[in-house]
Structure 1
């Protein structure tokens, strides 16, 4: 993982966040999650989303399953039963910073979810190297997204393009292929991003 890229995202986020909690951004579907030292639990949205962990470690409870959240990694928050949220228990020794982006069933369908034309792996690369490339691309996309927060006049045009790129990376990732099969069935809305 490119440490410079992650440090840039941390720097941008730390300037925008003043306290622990969940921050709604002007970018559709994008939420910032921050757990300062000593915070035990954060609540994420009750929607299918990709969560990119920028700093810290923890455990996420999604669909009554525990997922380890590693720094510089991502996971999928799967919707809970009605009234429950995906809860992230953060490591007490370090700030926890993460970005959560709603995954749209409509956008996935436009990109060809379930279709044979979606390439699942580059030829000539190992699955681990391929997954690391996807992770780096995801960090690049999220960095471009949060940089738009300082250019609000560009959000309406540029954010949907970047969000669709993130959806494509989700579709071709190993973690998405290995997700719980009912994840898409649990989506209650089909709005675009």
Structure 2
């Protein structure tokens, strides 16, 4: 049985560094993945993840147990990302891809197709204009609610919806060419 976040936060507030370490272990991957998708840079995502957890440690008393701790942490991460972007401290390059899921098919063609599709999607997401990419990643990848995204990015709810729609259109266009080039299962191949 997993120890609840609220209990760990209470222990960490009282100086228990092991409890905060457990929170860090539990939530750092999600925060890092969010920041990696937002920045397109693994080095910057690592730096911002560290800043996020440093801020979270300093402001643990701000989280009152309402909502999920992971959402609160992602909010801090987005604010660090926005501050870094305003200061022009990050680049728009994508230099790392997440590892393929362990449960991939043993079929080499299926593995190749899945890998190529994932790379095409990652590249298409990283190529989106920043304001579309932020909304897309927060809503579709991190699965935050529109209202949460509006609050995090400090934009109107309607802007979240329109940016998400535009991001989807741009991704669909970018991926339509890539998907047509992928080998289809059941396609006959001639072997020499």
Bigger-Rg structure (1/2): 2
Do these two structures clear the TM 0.5 threshold for a shared fold by scoring above it?
A: no
- Higher relative contact order, chain-length normalized (CA < 8 Å, sep 6+): 1
TM-score normalized with structure 1 length: 0.27
TM-score normalized with structure 2 length: 0.27
Q: Which has the higher helix share?
A: 2
